[in-house]
Amino acid sequence: DFGILMACYSFLVFFVISQLLLLSSAEEERELNKTCPPSFPPCGNLSQFIFPFTNQTHPECGLMVVDNCNEPVQRIRLGKAGPFYNILNIAQDVSITLEDQVFQSHLNERSCESFKNLSLPSSSSLSFEIKSNLSLFRCTHKLEKKLTSFNSTCNNSSFIYYNHPDEALPSILPPNCSLIQLPVNKTRKSGDLFNMLTSVFSLQVVVDRVCWECRWRWGQCQRCNDCHKKRGRCHIDDKGNFQCENERTGIKIYVRY
Ligand SMILES: *[C@@H]1O[C@H](CO)[C@@H](O)[C@H](O)[C@H]1NC(C)=O
Ligand SMILES: *[C@@H]1O[C@H](CO)[C@@H](O)[C@H](O)[C@H]1NC(C)=O
Ligand SMILES: *[C@@H]1O[C@H](CO)[C@@H](O)[C@H](O)[C@H]1NC(C)=O
Ligand SMILES: *[C@@H]1O[C@H](CO)[C@@H](O)[C@H](O)[C@H]1NC(C)=O
Ligand SMILES: *[C@@H]1O[C@H](CO)[C@@H](O)[C@H](O)[C@H]1NC(C)=O
Ligand SMILES: *[C@@H]1O[C@H](CO)[C@@H](O)[C@H](O)[C@H]1NC(C)=O
Ligand SMILES: *[C@@H]1O[C@H](CO)[C@@H](O)[C@H](O)[C@H]1NC(C)=O
Ligand SMILES: *[C@@H]1O[C@H](CO)[C@@H](O)[C@H](O)[C@H]1NC(C)=O
Ligand SMILES: *[C@@H]1O[C@H](CO)[C@@H](O)[C@H](O)[C@H]1NC(C)=O
Ligand SMILES: *[C@@H]1O[C@H](CO)[C@@H](O)[C@H](O)[C@H]1NC(C)=O
């Protein structure tokens, strides 16, 4: 009977294709496991590290690349397209100690240029928190209502208001003011703002929970697994957000990542 023959044939084709898909999926996983090492060797003064950090040999295996291993000071890129900083330490709790030389030179010169937010990228997969920071207000006008115990500085083009690091802040931002948060060394209680602020500081690295689950897959995750199931190619874009590209429903064309 032709009908039954066709049905068998269709089933056979379906079976072969699904086996091919299963095979390529396992192959792909092995391939990814092979490409991403579980840890990275010491780099300059930094001891061995793991995801979310990676090295230049495997930029796709983490969210932040550490390099300059043969230089006196190592460097880190905060995110795929983020800024570079000198890095002095990577701690167990996934915090990093950085040095910002430009900020230090502004502090040394007691320059009003000091009072700008650091450039720290923020995305759904990766963000940073300055562990010990001082909040300052940059205001376009001299505040009519005095903020008790606040001092001011750089009062020409804008007005910078600041308090001691552990003092409470007003619950609402004063009008015409923006918030600036800069790293502070709380053991320096001099009252001199340029000495309290510090260019060597720790950042807490905040990695999205789902990213941890998938550190074997280029540090990607469930969203990525779903993407692979749809025969897509998963990657983290310049802004650090997940993207699923080339979604297809047919037989997977093998792509070398
Ligand atoms: C990939 O590595 C993970 C973690 O070690 C392991 O659980 C998984 O079975 C590996 N997959 C393959 C296909 O080797
Ligand atoms: C990066 O890590 C891999 C895996 O551990 C290692 O083989 C490679 O030499 C490292 N590259 C650099 C530049 O340190
Ligand atoms: C890194 O190591 C070199 C040599 O071991 C040392 O001279 C240098 O001071 C260290 N740098 C930092 C920032 O600790
Ligand atoms: C400053 O510290 C506070 C409290 O620890 C924190 O909530 C905030 O995110 C920090 N600011 C920055 C810019 O990291
Ligand atoms: C500007 O700041 C200086 C000290 O830095 C202070 O003597 C002066 O009174 C301030 N001027 C205004 C308009 O606040
Ligand atoms: C504001 O005045 C300070 C000295 O009080 C000076 O160092 C600084 O360059 C001035 N800033 C601007 C933007 O004019
Ligand atoms: C403000 O200035 C006064 C007098 O110079 C000083 O005693 C105080 O510690 C300063 N406050 C801050 C927050 O720096
Ligand atoms: C805020 O700034 C605007 C102009 O930029 C000014 O007209 C207004 O009076 C300011 N408000 C306060 C409360 O200083
Ligand atoms: C500086 O950073 C803080 C904390 O991330 C943010 O709330 C604030 O809007 C930023 N200020 C400016 C002027 O960008
Ligand atoms: C704070 O400053 C003191 C004195 O300059 C220094 O010894 C200490 O290491 C600094 N602390 C941090 C966390 O940088």
Both tokens of residue 165?
Answer: 């690091």
Which atom of ligand 8 is the closest one to the Cα of 174? 13
Identify the three-state secondary structure at position 6.
helix
Which atom of ligand 10 is the closest one to the Cα of 132? 13
Ligand 10 pocket, CB under 6 A: 185, 187-188, 198, 200
Identify the three-state secondary structure at position 229.
helix
Both tokens of residue 200?
Answer: 């060597």
* Cβ 28 under 6 angstroms from ligand 4: no
Which bound ligand lies closest to the C-alpha atom of 155? 5
* Predicted local confidence at residue 232, as pLDDT: 62
* Predicted local confidence at residue 86, as pLDDT: 98
- Distance separating alpha carbons of residues 66 and 53, to the nearest angstrom: 7
* 198-243 residue pLDDT tens: 999 999 999 876 566 555 554 444 455 566 566 666 566 666 566 6
Which atom of ligand 5 is the closest one to the Cα of 152? 2
* Predicted local confidence at residue 18, as pLDDT: 61
Q: How far is the CA of 186 from the centre of ligand 10 (A)?
A: 8
* Predicted local confidence at residue 148, as pLDDT: 80
- Answer for the pair 220, 213: CB distance below 8 angstroms, yes or no: no
Nearest residue (by CA) to ligand 9, atom 14, is 117
Is the C-alpha dihedral spanning 120, 126, 131, 135 positive or negative? positive
* Predicted local confidence at residue 147, as pLDDT: 81
* CA trace torsion 28, 32, 34, 39 (10° rounding): -160
Those residues of the chain that have pLDDT short of 70 are 1-35, 209-257
Is the C-alpha dihedral spanning 103, 109, 113, 114 positive or negative? positive
> Where do the domains of the chain lie?
1-35, 96-205, 222-257
pTM, two decimal places: 0.77
